[in-house]
Amino acid sequence: MSDKKIKGVSLQVVPFAEIEKLSISERVKKILNIVLGNKIALVQGRLRPEEEARLIEDTMAMVDHIKGFKGIELAVIEPNMKEKGFFDKFKFNLAKSLVGDSTSLTVIGPSSVVKEIRKDPKKIELMLG
């Protein structure tokens, strides 16, 4: 795991290999520990839908119990496969099912640091507070 500091904002990169074999609880705990340290987690890959739901549940439980913590901002950046041909999409999905989704990038930050993540198909903007 590596830390980078950009103008007072701390980013922590979580490589896919580091979370690949973790259980749902462990993955979510790892991410929330980073976020509670006021850092933005850049997770290689994307969480499964049930993990995203669990992340929101656990975040809400923490908002209730940790003073000053108001929640998270979350976004997933994925390679644009819309304009790719059938075989490219097939290869992409096959690789995803075999080795997991390591081609995406998940950005998770505390809402006190990341005010908003604006996303549309062509760009993603992090509005920092």
Partner 1 sequence: MFSAIKRFSRNIIKSLFKKRENIKIGFYGPPNAGKTSLANRICKDWTGEEIGMVSKVPHETRNVQFKEKVEIKHKGKTLTFKLVDTPGIATKIDYEEFLNFGLKKDEAKKRAKEATQGIIESIQWLDDMDAVVVVLDAAENPYSQVNITIIGNLVARKIPVLIVGNKIDLKKADLSKIEAAFPDYDLVGISAKDGLNIEEFYESLFKLAKKA
With respect to partner 1, which residue has the nearer C-beta, 14 or 47?
Answer: 47
Q: Which is nearer to partner 1, 96 or 119 (CB)?
A: 119
Smallest gap from Cβ 101 to partner 1, in A, equals: 12
Nearer CB in complex with partner 1: 48/84:
48
Map residue 82 onto helix, strand or coil.
Answer: coil
For helices 49-65 and 24-36, the axis angle rounded to 10 degrees is: 50
| CB 33, min distance to partner 1, A | 17
Which residue's CB is nearer to partner 1, number 20 or number 57? Answer: 57
Asked whether 12 and 42 are in contact (CB, 8 A), the reply is yes
Look at residues 129, 8, 23 and name the one whose alpha carbon lies nearest to residue 71: 129
CB of 66 to partner 1, least distance (A): 11
For residues 7 and 19, give the distance between their C-alpha atoms in angstroms, rounded to a whole number: 28
Classified as helix, coil or strand, 120 is coil
Closest CA to 73 of 84, 54, 59, 61: 59
Contact residues for partner 1, defined by CB under 8 A: 48-50, 52-53, 56-57, 59-61, 63-64, 70-76, 111, 117-121
Least distance from partner 1 to the Cβ atom of residue 41, Å: 13
